[in-house]
């Protein structure tokens, strides 16, 4: 399995920190029938970045771009976690031992188990480390 | 090229003695104006107290409002029969300002225009279309007589009917034009529409409103001209006070005719070379309407360096109006300085808004600036870095800590006419 198949395109949207911005983004995705699989908001001084994994990233990029939003793609990876105590530790330990730095992460847990989405400083090295460590990476085709 | 090389390149010492002689004469002329008689008397100054050029700073300023108060002929220093022409400046509020000229004034003025046009290489071989108002506005007749004095072929086309203007440029083989920079852009667009190439044009003289370096590039590309900045104001005859030479790095102001000071617009203190402030001019050769320390309201500075062309000290292109100046925690800030900083940072756009508030008795300045679409990586930390960079460069340029807010591209207001980029809310909290 090639490394590329594990690289997932996250959409990152620049947004001023003011009421209604998230609603505008969400409405646009609804109009395009784009499903949001996971998302988070990172906030800095007066502005933020909305990060989302969606089923149709290209279409989301085009739609939001047309609306005037500043959108970029960011490469992330998704790792299956055990939905039980120690599940996160297992993954974090692998990355720590592999010398991989996590820039940010967010997670969800549902029927299919828990998933950790990671933005790391070196995506290829992280994929190799996780595979070597015996954890399960989710292929991007599962999402997109 | 020089129109009058001797005067234009006068050694500094000779220039200063000429200036002093002319300043003394001007002081005796203003004795004929009641406003100045009173003003000088109240200040306890007799004309003979001015012995050196440094004594100039003891004299009171003249403001635009003073001229308005003197409407119509209160500032004429000669009898009306000696005045051969009158111009007025548009009065947006209240009465217009009236300026008068003697025969000698008109000759001096035309001579100054001839200096400027010769400086940028125009000669009697050029065909010159003067596309500005020929009525009360000084730009029309001012350039007209200067160009004729050189012997140029002058087309007094005035304003309006752009298609006819384009036709004349093409049919007459016009080489040089004079108009406002915004009209020049319009002209270029219409020429494009009617699919006419203005190949004969080589020189564009643009003035009467401030314009930027990017606009210069645009004008030069679209019209195929070399563009020169022209500065003047009716109170100092009209256009022709200062002009760019082929170096196009600052404007030569004619020091034999205009005594230049740069002052702090708030304190009135005279500033040194390289310091930004309000241009104050004492004209030295005006007969009908001599003035003392006239406050132009225009913000510029005197260059420290000499110009390779051999003429005397230059002033910077006009950076704004003193009316636009903000005082933030005692520091003078011009919106144009902010614009200048932003122009140098590719990660952000050139549009901005400034908000001034008073928080705990301290002035706080907040600047909204758009992130440049092409520089958004998707990473928060990159945005934070851009924000810090803008704040740092503003602090270096303004000597002031500001709050910088990054906003979405295209979200700030765009202005078609006069931009209103500053919202001062300090009064709201008092």
Each residue of B78-117: pLDDT tens digit?
999 999 999 998 655 567 899 999 999 999 999 999 999 9
**CA-CA distance, B14 to B10, in Å (whole number)?**
6
User: How many beta-carbon contacts under 8 Å exist across A and B?
Assistant: 54
Q: Mean per-residue pLDDT for A72-82?
A: 94
CA distance B339 to chain A (A): 21
Question: Residue B121: which of B315, B309, B316 has the closest Cα?
Answer: B309
Condensed to tens digits (0 to 9), the pLDDT of residues A101-113 reads: 999 999 988 877 8
Cross-chain residue pair A70–B387, CB shorter than 8 Å: no
In this complex, the residue of B373, B377, B405 whose CB is nearest that of residue A46 is B405
Task: Name which of A5-19, B58-72, B393-407, B408-422 the model is least confident about.
Answer: B408-422
Cross-chain residue pair A44–B376, CB shorter than 8 Å: no
Predicted confidence band of residue A44 (pLDDT cuts 50, 70, 90): confident
In this complex, the residue of B378, B406, B408 whose CB is nearest that of residue A68 is B408
In this complex, the residue of B371, B381, B405 whose CB is nearest that of residue A14 is B371
* pLDDT for residue A3: 77
Which residues in chain B have Cβ-Cβ distances shorter than 8 Å to A69?
408
What are the structural domains, with CATH classification, of chain B?
Answer: 1-321 (3.40.50.12780), 326-429 (3.30.300.30)
Cross-chain residue pair A44–B407, CB shorter than 8 Å: no
* pLDDT for residue B90: 67
DSSP assignment of A26-82, as one string? HHHHHHTTPPEEEEEEEE-SSEEEEEEEES-HHHHHHHHHHTT-EEEEEEEEEEEE-
Proportion of chain B above pLDDT 90, given as a percent? 77
Condensed to tens digits (0 to 9), the pLDDT of residues A24-42 reads: 999 999 999 999 989 999 9
pLDDT at B63 over 60: yes
pLDDT at B227 over 90: yes
The chain-wide mean pLDDT, for chain A, equals 92
Q: Mean per-residue pLDDT for A90-94?
A: 94
Contact A45/B at CB under 8 A: yes
* pLDDT for residue A26: 95
pLDDT at B430 over 70: no
Q: Which residues of B112-148 are buried (b: 16+ CB within 10 A; e: fewer)?
A: bbbbbbbbbebeeebbbbbbbbeebbbbbbbbbbbbb
ipTM of the complex: 0.84
* pLDDT for residue A107: 93
Contact A18/B at CB under 8 A: no
Which residues in chain A have Cβ-Cβ distances shorter than 8 Å to B379?
12, 49, 74, 103
Q: What are the contacts of B278-283 at 24+ separation with CB within 8 A?
A: B278/B322, B279/B315, B280/B61, B281/B236, B281/B241, B282/B23, B282/B26, B282/B56, B282/B59, B282/B258, B283/B26, B283/B236, B283/B237, B283/B257, B283/B258, B283/B259
In this complex, the residue of A12, A68, A73 whose CB is nearest that of residue B410 is A68
* pLDDT for residue B94: 61
Give the count of beta carbons closer than 10 Å to the beta carbon of residue B41: 10
Which residues in chain A have Cβ-Cβ distances shorter than 8 Å to B378?
10, 12, 49, 71-74
Predicted confidence band of residue B197 (pLDDT cuts 50, 70, 90): very high
pLDDT at B409 over 70: yes
In this complex, the residue of A10, A47, A103 whose CB is nearest that of residue B406 is A47
Cross-chain residue pair B378–A45, CB shorter than 8 Å: no
Condensed to tens digits (0 to 9), the pLDDT of residues A117-136 reads: 999 999 999 999 999 999 99
Entry pTM:
0.74
Q: Mean per-residue pLDDT for B226-247?
A: 96
pLDDT at A1 over 60: no
Question: Residue A121: which of A74, A72, A89, A88 has the closest Cα?
Answer: A74
CA distance B369 to chain A (A): 11
**CA-CA distance, B135 to B377, in Å (whole number)?**
55
Please report, for chain A, the start and end positions of each structural domain, with discontinuous segments joined by +.
Answer: 5-74, 76-142
**Top-confidence residue, B330 or B346:** B346
Q: Mean per-residue pLDDT for B194-207?
A: 96
Which residues in chain A have Cβ-Cβ distances shorter than 8 Å to B377?
72, 74
The beta strands (E) that lie in B201-329 are given as 203-207, 226-233, 238-244, 251-253, 258-263, 277-283, 294-300, 314-315, 320-321, 326-328
Condensed to tens digits (0 to 9), the pLDDT of residues B110-153 reads: 999 999 999 999 999 999 999 999 999 999 999 999 999 999 99
Interface test with B, best of A8, A14, A16 (most B CBs within 10 A): A14
Cross-chain residue pair A47–B378, CB shorter than 8 Å: no
pLDDT at B5 over 80: yes
The chain-wide mean pLDDT, for chain B, equals 93
Cross-chain residue pair A69–B406, CB shorter than 8 Å: no
Which residues in chain A have Cβ-Cβ distances shorter than 8 Å to B384?
44-45
Interface test with A, best of B347, B372, B380 (most A CBs within 10 A): B380
**CATH 3.30.70.260 for the A76-142 domain, yes or no:** yes
Q: Mean per-residue pLDDT for B251-278?
A: 95
Structure tokens belonging to residue B98? 């009236």
Predicted confidence band of residue A141 (pLDDT cuts 50, 70, 90): confident
Residue B329 DSSP class: T
**CATH 3.40.50.300 for the A5-74 domain, yes or no:** no
In this complex, the residue of A42, A68, A72 whose CB is nearest that of residue B376 is A72
């Amino acid at each position: 399995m090639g490394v590329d198949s594990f690289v997932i395109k996250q959409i990152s949207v620049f947004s001023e920190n003011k009421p209604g911005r998230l609603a505008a983004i969400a409405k646009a995705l609804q109009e395009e029938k784009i499903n949001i699989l996971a998302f988070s908001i990172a906030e800095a001084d007066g502005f933020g970045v909305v990060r989302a994994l969606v089923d149709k990233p290209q279409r989301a990029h085009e739609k939001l771009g047309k609306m005037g939003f500043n959108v970029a793609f960011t490469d992330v990876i998704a790792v299956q976690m055990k939905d039980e105590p120690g599940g996160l530790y297992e993954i974090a330990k692998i990355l720590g031992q592999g010398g991989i730095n996590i820039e940010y992460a967010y997670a969800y847990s549902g029927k299919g188990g828990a998933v950790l989405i990671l933005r790391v400083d070196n995506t290829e090295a992280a994929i190799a480390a996780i595979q070597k460590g015996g954890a399960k990476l989710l292929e991007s085709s599962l999402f997109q | 090229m020089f129109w009058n090389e001797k005067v234009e390149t006068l050694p500094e010492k000779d220039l200063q003695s000429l200036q002093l002689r002319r300043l003394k004469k001007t002081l005796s002329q203003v004795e004929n104006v009641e406003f100045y008689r009173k003003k000088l008397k109240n200040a306890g100054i007799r004309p003979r107290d001015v012995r050196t050029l440094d004594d100039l700073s003891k004299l009171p300023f003249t403001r635009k409002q003073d001229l308005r108060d003197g409407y119509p002929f209160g500032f004429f220093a000669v009898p009306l029969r000696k005045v051969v022409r009158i111009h007025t400046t548009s009065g947006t509020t209240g009465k217009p300002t009236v300026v008068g000229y003697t025969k000698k004034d008109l000759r001096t003025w035309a001579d100054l225009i001839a200096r400027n046009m010769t400086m940028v290489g125009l000669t009697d071989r050029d065909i010159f279309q003067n596309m500005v108002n020929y009525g009360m506005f000084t730009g029309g007749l001012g350039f007209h007589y200067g160009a004729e004095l050189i012997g140029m072929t002058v087309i007094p086309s005035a304003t309006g009917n752009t298609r006819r203007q384009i036709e004349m440029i093409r049919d007459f083989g016009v080489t040089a034009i004079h108009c406002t920079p915004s009209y020049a852009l319009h002209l270029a667009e219409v020429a494009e529409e009617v699919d006419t190439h203005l190949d004969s044009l080589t020189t564009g003289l643009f003035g009467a409103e401030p314009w930027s370096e990017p606009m210069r590039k645009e004008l030069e590309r679209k019209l195929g001209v070399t563009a020169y900045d022209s500065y003047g104001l009716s109170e100092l005859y009209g256009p022709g006070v200062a002009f760019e030479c082929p170096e196009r790095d600052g404007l030569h102001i004619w020091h034999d005719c205009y005594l230049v000071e740069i002052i702090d617009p708030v304190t009135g203190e005279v500033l040194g070379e390289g310091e930004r402030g309000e241009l104050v001019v004492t004209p030295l050769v005006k007969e009908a309407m001599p003035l003392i320390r006239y406050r132009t309201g225009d913000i510029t500075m005197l260059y420290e360096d000499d110009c390779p062309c051999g003429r005397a000290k230059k002033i910077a292109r006009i950076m704004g109006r003193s009316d636009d100046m903000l005082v933030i925690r005692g520091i003078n800030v011009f919106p144009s300085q902010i614009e200048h900083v932003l122009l140098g940072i590719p990660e952000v756009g050139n549009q901005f808004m400034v908000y001034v508030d008073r928080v705990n008795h301290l002035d706080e300045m907040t600047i909204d600036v758009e992130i440049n679409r092409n520089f958004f990586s998707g990473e928060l930390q990159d945005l934070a870095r851009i924000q810090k960079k803008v704040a740092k460069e503003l602090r270096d340029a303004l000597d002031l800590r500001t709050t910088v807010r990054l906003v979405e591209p295209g979200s700030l207001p765009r202005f078609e006419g006069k931009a209103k980029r500053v919202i001062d809310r300090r009064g709201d909290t008092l």
